[in-house]
C-alpha cells in the first residue's frame, strides 16, 4: 500500500535517481540521464505544493507526479512528469496521483488539466483517455491520434491532452438519484454485481434528462438518441443488499461530437465507485453522431444548466 504526500525540495535528488533507474529497461543509460533533465530542481523549489510522491511503508518512492497551476492561464493546471516504479505498476498508483492532482486543481478554481505525451505511445494515450483526457487537434496523426509536429522543438512532436474537470469525486454531484440495492442484484459473495453499477448509472443519466425536461419520446421525435461510446468504472468500496446509494451525474463538455459524463456512487456520504463515460448524440436516420450535440439538447430543455450548457 502506497501513501501519498506533498513533494518537498529535498526530494529532488531522489526523483532524479528514480527517473534514471526506472526507465533503464527501455532506454540506454544516456537516454535515461537525458530524461532526468526534464526534472530540474526549480520544479520542486516553486511547485512542491502541487507535486506529489507515493511512498511505501518503508519510505521508498513508489511513484511521483510533478505538476503546477498555470500562471498565465487561470483556468488551467498542467501535469509535467509522472513516474511509477516498475515493481509497483498496475496497482493504481498513477491513477491515484492524477486524481489527487485533479482535486488540487479544483480547489484552486481550475477547470482544465493539460498534459503531453509522445506520438505512438499507445499506453500513455490509453491511460490518459481512461482518466478523461482527450487529444487536441494536431497537424499529423499516429495510430489515429492527432499530434503537433515539432511541438517542443525540432524532432520533439507531442500529443496534447486536455481533461475538463467536473465535480470533485469526493463530493456529491449536482444531480443525484437514490437507489436501494436489491438482494437479487448481488453476486455469490453478497456484493452488488459489477454489471448493475452500469444499470444504476444509466438510470441516473435518464433521470437527469427527465429532470431537465427531456423525455425519451422527445428524443425520438427529434430523430436523435444518446449513445455510449466508452465507459470506465472504478470500484472503491463494496455495496450489499439493503444499502442506499446516491448515484450522481454530471455532464462535462468534451468538444466536437462527444461529451463526457462523470458519475459518482456514494453510500452515507462515502464514495464507493466512479463511472466515467464518453457519449454522443446520434442522428437515428443517418446513423452517425451529430457534429455538435449542444443545439439539439438546448432545443429540448428549459434548464440547460443541468446538462452543462
Q: Pairing mode, if any, of strands 134-135 and 140-142?
A: unpaired
Give the integer Cα–Cα distance in Å for 284 and 219: 10
For residue 172, the model assigns a pLDDT of 35
For residue 106, the model assigns a pLDDT of 80
Q: Residue 17: in which H helix or E strand, if any?
A: helix 12-22
For residue 309, the model assigns a pLDDT of 67
- Is 206:279 a contact under the CB 8 Å cutoff? no
Q: Could you list the beta-strand ranges (E) of 13-70.
A: 52-55, 61-69
DSSP assignment, residue 253? E
Which of 12-21, 166-175, 207-216 is predicted least confidently? Answer: 166-175
Give the integer Cα–Cα distance in Å for 121 and 107: 31
* pLDDT tops 90 at residue 109: no
For residue 171, the model assigns a pLDDT of 38
Percentage of the residues of the chain whose pLDDT score is greater than 70: 92
Give the length of the chain: 309
Give the integer Cα–Cα distance in Å for 29 and 31: 6
For residue 25, the model assigns a pLDDT of 60
Q: What are phi and psi of 104, to 5 degrees?
A: -65, -40
Q: What is the mean pLDDT of residues 25-48?
A: 76
Q: What is the mean pLDDT of residues 224-238?
A: 91
* pLDDT tops 50 at residue 169: no
What is the set of domains in the chain, with CATH numbers?
Answer: 3-164 (3.40.630.30), 176-307 (3.10.129.10)
Mean pLDDT of the chain: 86
At 58-97, the pLDDT tens digits run 889 999 999 999 999 988 999 999 999 999 988 888 988 9
* pLDDT tops 60 at residue 173: no
Q: Pairing mode, if any, of strands 76-84 and 112-117?
A: parallel
C-alpha distances out from residue 44 to 66, 83, 186, Å:
8, 15, 47
Q: What is the mean pLDDT of residues 255-276?
A: 84
For residue 35, the model assigns a pLDDT of 72
For residue 168, the model assigns a pLDDT of 43
For residue 79, the model assigns a pLDDT of 97
* pLDDT tops 70 at residue 170: no
Percentage of the residues of the chain whose pLDDT score is greater than 90: 43
For residue 255, the model assigns a pLDDT of 64
Amino acid at each position: 500500500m502506497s501513501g501519498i504526500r506533498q513533494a518537498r525540495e529535498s526530494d529532488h535528488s531522489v526523483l532524479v535517481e528514480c527517473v534514471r533507474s526506472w526507465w533503464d529497461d527501455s532506454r540506454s543509460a544516456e537516454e535515461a540521464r537525458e530524461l532526468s533533465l526534464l526534472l530540474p530542481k526549480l520544479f520542486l523549489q516553486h511547485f512542491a505544493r502541487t507535486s506529489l510522491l507515493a511512498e511505501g511503508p518503508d519510505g521508498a518512492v513508489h511513484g511521483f507526479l510533478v505538476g503546477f497551476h498555470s500562471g498565465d492561464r487561470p483556468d488551467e493546471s498542467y501535469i509535467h512528469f509522472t513516474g511509477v516504479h516498475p515493481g509497483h505498476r498496475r496497482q493504481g498508483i498513477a491513477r491515484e496521483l492524477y486524481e489527487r492532482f485533479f482535486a488540487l486543481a479544483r480547489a484552486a478554481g481550475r477547470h482544465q488539466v493539460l498534459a503531453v505525451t509522445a506520438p505512438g505511445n499507445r499506453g500513455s494515450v490509453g491511460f490518459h483517455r481512461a482518466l478523461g483526457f482527450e487529444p487536441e487537434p494536431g497537424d499529423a496523426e499516429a495510430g489515429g491520434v492527432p499530434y503537433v509536429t515539432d511541438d517542443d522543438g525540432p524532432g520533439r512532436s507531442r500529443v496534447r491532452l486536455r481533461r475538463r474537470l467536473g465535480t470533485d469525486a469526493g463530493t456529491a454531484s449536482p444531480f443525484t438519484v437514490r437507489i436501494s440495492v436489491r438482494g437479487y442484484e448481488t453476486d455469490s459473495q453478497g456484493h452488488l454485481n459489477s454489471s448493475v453499477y452500469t444499470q444504476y448509472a444509466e438510470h441516473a443519466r435518464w433521470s437527469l434528462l427527465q429532470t431537465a425536461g427531456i423525455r425519451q419520446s422527445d428524443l425520438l421525435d427529434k430523430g436523435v438518441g444518446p449513445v455510449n461510446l466508452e465507459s470506465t468504472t472504478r470500484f472503491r468500496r463494496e455495496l450489499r443488499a439493503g444499502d442506499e446509494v446516491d448515484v450522481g451525474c454530471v455532464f462535462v463538455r468534451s468538444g466536437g461530437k462527444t461529451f463526457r459524463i462523470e458519475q459518482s456512487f456514494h453510500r452515507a456520504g462515502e464514495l464507493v465507485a466512479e463511472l466515467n463515460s464518453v457519449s454522443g448524440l446520434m442522428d437515428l436516420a443517418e446513423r452517425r453522431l451529430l457534429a455538435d450535440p449542444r443545439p439539439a439538447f438546448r432545443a429540448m430543455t428549459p434548464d440547460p444548466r443541468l446538462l452543462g450548457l
